[in-house]
Amino acid sequence: MSDTAKCRVLVVEDEPLVGMDIEDAIDELGHDVVGPIAELNEALAVALDGELGCAVLDINIRGGNSYPVIDLLLRRGVPVLLMSGYDVLTLPERLREETLLQKPFTTGQLDLELRNLCARAVNS
């Protein structure tokens, strides 16, 4: 992958094994990983100031849910992929148009969504 197509991906996930799987998938695609971050306050700080191409976020994290982080990223124009064990109807209405990857997911599903997310980030 060329450097121009490389994407910095914020990962917000409080389950260590899931976070490592996501990190490995992002690495395999040739992108840079920021995280995984498990705490709401830390995720907010990185979302506010970090140089990010896109983000993969679990909904329920330590300290609450990631909705404030998602809102901040979307205001900055950063594409997001949401992850949850719940369906899209449990999301606030403002977030229901965002891509949701339901847990448990396969590596293939994650790979496909990451490719789409990073392509959106690079082309935006």
Please tell me the pTM assigned to this model.
Answer: 0.90
| Tokens (6 digits) for 94 | 């403002």
Q: How high is the pLDDT of residue 2? A: 41
pLDDT tens digit string along 9-40?
999 999 999 999 999 989 988 899 999 999 99
**CA angle, residues 52, 50, 62, in degrees to nearest 5:** 100
Q: How high is the pLDDT of residue 3? A: 41
**CA angle, residues 116, 120, 123, in degrees to nearest 5:** 135
Q: How high is the pLDDT of residue 89? A: 84
Residues of the chain with pLDDT under 50: 1-4
| Tokens (6 digits) for 58 | 């679990």
Cβ atoms within 10 Å, residue 47: 27
Region for 35 from its dihedrals, namely left if φ exceeds 0, alpha if ψ lies in -120 to 50, beta otherwise: left
Q: How high is the pLDDT of residue 77? A: 93
**3-123: what fold?**
Rossmann fold (3.40.50)
| Tokens (6 digits) for 101 | 């990857």
Distances in Å between the alpha carbon of 86 and those of 3, 60, 75? 36, 10, 24
R_g of the chain computed on alpha carbons: 13
Three-class secondary structure of residue 81 per DSSP: strand
Residue with tokens 């449990």: 90
Q: How high is the pLDDT of residue 114? A: 87
